[in-house]
A and B are shown apart, each in its own frame.
Chain A
Amino acid sequence: MSLLPLDRSRLRFLAVATAVCLAGCGGSQVIVESTFPKPLVEALPVSMGVVIPDELYNFIYTEDIPDQSLWTIALGDANVAMLAPLFEGMFRQTTDIDSLAVAATDSSLDGVIEPKLEKFEFDVPQGERDKFVEVWLQYQITVYEPSGATIIEWPVSGYGKSELARDAEDAVQRAAIVAMREAGATIATKFSEQPQIKEWLGGIGHDAAPVTVGPQAAAGGNPSAESATAPLE
């Protein structure tokens, strides 16, 4: 059997067809990168160990959206970039530790805080009417006694939206940054309002003054999920 000769026009056609296929198969990749500021809050007079789990460092979200493409969103570096200055501003002293077990041997620590990114959702508009890309995420903030006893497991959500002006990947990145800043704002402003945290602070002899916030932010009562808005439908 002889193969068809590959003349110039057929080669050109094959090259274009291959490029189109590869572009379609590549999907959309977003690496969320930003610098995040230190919060302007009164630091609690405690020394906290900070455990950043590997899953947080390496957080990558993937979703195959029908009629769109495979989305891959990497948040690991941005998580650390947001949480590190946040905790530095919230507590008098922070120490990075590898695990909760290390805290038991460090008598200088008053407690340990461990954040995890539990949920992530996003939505890219399809039609012309809806022009915002939305991101919703939820962290789980767990605070432990140095002995390992759990003080609080506190879900904190953040919501962000960004206009789909240029390309979708850029808009997803900007919306994710807004959502992370929102979650950080909730953590910074409502942490000391949580009843379990108030009790813990009182128990270690460091009563924190109640943090009063504006009417927009509801006062923290039970450690129910603190959020700017509900998850995306």
Chain B
Amino acid sequence: MERLRLIGIAAALPLIGACGVTARLEPYKQTNAVISAGEHVVVLARKQHSTHEAEEDFVQCISDGLADGKHGLQVHSSKDFEDKMYPWFEPSTAPLSTEDLTVLLARPGVAEQVRETGVRYVVWVDGSTDRVASGGGITCAAGVGGAGCMGLAWWEDDSRYDLTVWDVKDSENEGTIYADYKGRSVMPAIVIPIPLITRPQNHACKGLTDQLRQFLTTPEGYSSPATQAAG
């Protein structure tokens, strides 16, 4: 009995070890500007690519994360901002550079509307979470005596995002934060499937939110954190 328990633990450990998230964060801040009291930040998804787009849930996750907690920032609703600034932040009309932003703010009524929203910083989120690999398989069967599954399935998700922070008051690019979170999930099936799921997108949201908060509230520049394993 003791032997069986040890075998079970020995078999489970590599499976649990196979799961996990590796993270890489590279912030780069070009100025010493920080967000002041009364100033808002808005998080928007870059939508001009045909092949990918930052997920709505992910953008909302970052917005909610920034606003949460004791040191929460004032975050303007993304949809509300796009509606108030319509048609200038649609996929085909949104400014792609701070030069475009300068031209946009020169249009009648636009700068005033931005001031009215209270938004000082626009955070553009570019990237997506994709399944990059998968394999294995699980077979389930049922018979007169019972039913069960046997096998092993695994998959790997990669969450890669680029955040660009603009100061709309000065039409300046404040800097970028690059994040790459990879996670492998495993589902062994011994009679019943046992899901050991990692969610790199959730880790990416938390990691980017923490970095972004630090970016917007810390005047000093950053040094790139080492590649770290988390989860």
Partner of B55, one of A36, A37, A163: A163
Residues in A whose Cβ lies below 8 Å from that of B28? none
Q: From known contacts A165-B55, A185-B90, A185-B92, infer whether A37 and B103 are also in contact, taking CB-CB under 8 Å.
A: no
Report, as a range, how many residues of chain B touch the other chain: 20 to 34
Check if A16 is an interface residue, CB within 8 A of chain B. Answer: no
Is B86's CB under 8 angstroms from A185's CB?
Answer: yes
Q: From known contacts A163-B55, A185-B86, A189-B87, infer whether A217 and B109 are also in contact, taking CB-CB under 8 Å.
A: no
CB distance from B86 to the nearest CB of A (A): 4
Q: From known contacts A214-B104, A215-B100, A229-B50, infer whether A40 and B85 are also in contact, taking CB-CB under 8 Å.
A: yes
CB distance from A136 to the nearest CB of B (A): 12
**A66 vs B106: C-alpha distance when bound (angstroms):** 50
Residue of B nearest to A130 (CB): B51
Residues in B whose Cβ lies below 8 Å from that of A229? 50
Residues in B whose Cβ lies below 8 Å from that of A41? 87, 109
Is B90's CB under 8 angstroms from A163's CB?
Answer: no
Check if B175 is an interface residue, CB within 8 A of chain A. Answer: no
Question: Residues 142-167 of chain A: 1 if any B CB is under 8 Å from the residue's CB, otherwise 0?
Answer: 00000000000000000111010100
Check if B57 is an interface residue, CB within 8 A of chain A. Answer: yes
Interface size on A, residues (CB 8 A): 30
Check if A110 is an interface residue, CB within 8 A of chain B. Answer: no
Residues in A whose Cβ lies below 8 Å from that of B94? 216
Is A184's CB under 8 angstroms from B87's CB?
Answer: yes
**A185 vs B109: C-alpha distance when bound (angstroms):** 16
Question: Residues 62-74 of chain B: 1 if any A CB is under 8 Å from the residue's CB, otherwise 0?
Answer: 0000000000000
CB distance from B59 to the nearest CB of A (A): 12
Residues in B whose Cβ lies below 8 Å from that of A163? 53, 55-56
Residues in A whose Cβ lies below 8 Å from that of B53? 132, 161, 163
Is A37's CB under 8 angstroms from B84's CB?
Answer: yes
Residue of B nearest to A212 (CB): B103
Check if A93 is an interface residue, CB within 8 A of chain B. Answer: no
Residue of A nearest to B104 (CB): A214
Is B83's CB under 8 angstroms from A37's CB?
Answer: yes
Check if A112 is an interface residue, CB within 8 A of chain B. Answer: no
Is A40's CB under 8 angstroms from B93's CB?
Answer: no
Residue of B nearest to A85 (CB): B86
Partner of B93, one of A128, A161, A213: A213
Within 8 A of A (CB), among B95-130: 95-96, 100, 103-104, 107-110, 113
Check if A228 is an interface residue, CB within 8 A of chain B. Answer: yes
**A29 vs B55: C-alpha distance when bound (angstroms):** 24
Partner of A42, one of B50, B92, B108: B108
Question: Residues 204-223 of chain A: 1 if any B CB is under 8 Å from the residue's CB, otherwise 0?
Answer: 00000000111111000000
Q: From known contacts A40-B113, A214-B93, A216-B96, infer whether A181 and B104 are also in contact, taking CB-CB under 8 Å.
A: no
B residues neighboring A (CB under 8 Å): 48, 50, 53, 55-57, 83-88, 90-96, 100, 103-104, 107-110, 113, 131
Given contacts A163-B55, A185-B93, A216-B94, 20 further A-B contacts (CB under 8 A): A37-B83, A40-B84, A40-B88, A40-B113, A42-B109, A128-B131, A132-B53, A161-B53, A163-B53, A178-B91, A181-B86, A185-B90, A189-B87, A214-B104, A215-B100, A216-B93, A217-B92, A217-B93, A228-B91, A229-B50
What would be 20 A-B contacts, judged by CB atoms less than 8 Å apart?
A36-B86, A37-B86, A39-B86, A40-B110, A40-B113, A41-B87, A42-B108, A128-B131, A163-B53, A178-B91, A182-B91, A188-B87, A214-B95, A214-B96, A214-B103, A214-B104, A215-B96, A215-B100, A216-B48, A216-B94
A residues neighboring B (CB under 8 Å): 36-42, 128, 132, 159-161, 163, 165, 178, 181-182, 184-186, 188-189, 212-217, 228-229
